[in-house]
Structure 1
């Protein structure tokens, strides 16, 4: 089995050298790693030029740079990278991380042993504190809130979005990441769709990567609003798209109560949460179409 690595870049200049150095190390020690694909979302900080320089000077593994010219969102850019990949296994990485030299080997062994396996997440540690665990995977409660895998179970609903490996054929079969999400909650939606289509999602604790968390996310006030709005909107979208009618009513009722409590506790939450519901109503036709398309692919119930 071979593996391709896809990195979606957006203004990550300060992280490029450590990321590429660690990926080159891991690929040189592991023959099955054939290519690194950098999909650039309109970077303006010089990181695109640095990646291009690496692509010219490194032959093994091959580095391909795909400039999109604008910020298309993490989901759209990821799908571009996965479609361009030549391997059946594809690692999807954020740009603000680095990896252990042997991080790919246990993951690839998992895929070889389990034909139904669709997604594997490595154990993710903090970039700044490499001895502390940051993420072990995600679950979702009845209200659609995603929760950390605090018990360290190897079976997950979804990977934490900073780093995971997919079986390309299964990923594309369920439609990849949904570009409507732009960013946030996309991995939960993908993991849920993978499960309901008959695939498996798991954690591989023998594989380690180190993630900065928010290292390339701007901190402007509008970005804070956008983060809350997209997270709440995408949460609702995931429920409407994937759940059966009975579970959907229960989840939406509970989620609405949670959102009301959020708005009562913090005035800053009022505008982004109301905007999230408005955007759902505005895009109801698109959501209904997505629900119909997914219902044809699902093989399991909740």
Structure 2
């Protein structure tokens, strides 16, 4: 298979070893791009003899993944988070789906921590959905999730996006689309890519196979820091797609809740 596997790490020592072990012989087709980790991530990758690109500073997931795509040689790329445990069967199915079908990208189901099974192909974003995501991260409104998500027009069913934890895409297509938008440091870059795929007329295949995903374990950062990154990514996405004023207003609305949560945890 003409496949390259790209893993972006940042302080990922707790999971990268298991990920590379799960890849087995496919670790030889893997390129790890490290975003200036301060832990033992780099040492663990070097110990296993996997190809490594060390960056001098943390450039964010989008830039790191784009660097990997430019350096990769495979016709098909598999973007893989370090907190995932792939199987050889998954790699074969993902490669075949992208290489043989008309679809431009393919995604597995994600078997998340706690037993939740998540579709890798997610429905498109709307203003309402983005607003809900931002505010639910900042405030305790999750008990209303079901009601909000049942509102007509919550999802944009015209397009879908690939969950960034694991997906397959032709290298030529990825580079032609400009890769991930590097203005999105981390979070929402996969959503933005899905929108670009749709605009390019490409389909997204949901594979009948799953991958184990150790949810939110790819980078050893605090819960509060992760909330800030998620919100910042969503606000930036809002700015790019819906305008600066809308994004600023939503960001300011979320700020008090994020501050309070940050102080409590």
Q: Same fold (TM over 0.5)?
A: yes
Matches within 5 A, 1:89-238: 89-115=76-102, 117-126=103-112, 128-129=113-114, 131-143=115-127, 145=129, 157-206=160-209, 208-215=210-217, 216-219=219-222, 221-238=224-241
What SS class does the counterpart of residue 102 from structure 1 fall into?
helix
Question: Could you tell me the TM-score, scaled by structure 1's length?
Answer: 0.69
Which residue of 34, 42, 48 maps to 1:48?
A: 42
Structure 1 counterpart SS, 2:160: coil
Deviation at 1:123, TM superposition (A): 1.1
The SS at the match of 2:74 is coil
Residues 16 and 47 in structure 1, CA contact (< 8 A), matched pair in contact too: yes
What SS does the aligned partner of 2:70 have? helix
Q: Distance in 2 between matches of 1:267 and 1:38?
A: 37
* Cα 1:212/1:135, change in 2 over 3 Å: farther
For 1:201 and 1:144, locate their aligned partners in 2 and report how far apart those are by CA, in whole Å: 23
**Moved segments of 4+, more than 2 Å:** 134-137, 144-147, 220-227, 238-241
| Larger radius of gyration between Structure 1 and Structure 2 | 1
Q: Is the 8 A contact 2:186 2:229 kept in 1?
A: no
- Return 5+ residue gaps in structure 2 as ranges: 134-149, 151-157, 261-265
Instruction: Give 1:22 shift.
Output: 0.8
The alignment covers a number of residue pairs equal to 235
Paired position in structure 2 for 1:267: 256
Q: What is the aligned partner in structure 2 of residue 274 from structure 1?
A: none
Find the counterpart in structure 2 of residue 37 from structure 1: 31
Q: Deviations over 1:171-221 (max 9, x none)?
A: 100100011101111011111111101222221122x21111211251164
Distance (whole Å) between structure 1 residues aligned to residue 193 and residue 44 of structure 2: 31
Cα shift at 1:169: 0.5
Matched residue SS, 1:5: strand
Structure 2 distance, partners of 1:236, 1:21, is 40
Give me the whole-angstrom Cα distance separating, in 2, the residues matched to 1:109 and 1:101.
12
Q: CA RMSD in A?
A: 3.1
Q: Can you list the C-alpha shifts for 1:100-148, whole angstroms capped at 9, x where unaligned? A: 2311122222223324x2211111111x34x53134321224316369x
Gaps of 5+ in 1: 28-32, 56-62, 242-251, 272-302
CA distance in 2, matches of 1:92, 1:10: 15
- The alpha-carbon deviation at position 86 of structure 1 amounts to 0.8
Q: If the length of structure 2 is used for normalisation, what is the TM-score?
A: 0.77
1:86 aligns with 2:73: yes
Deviation at 1:69, TM superposition (A): 2.0
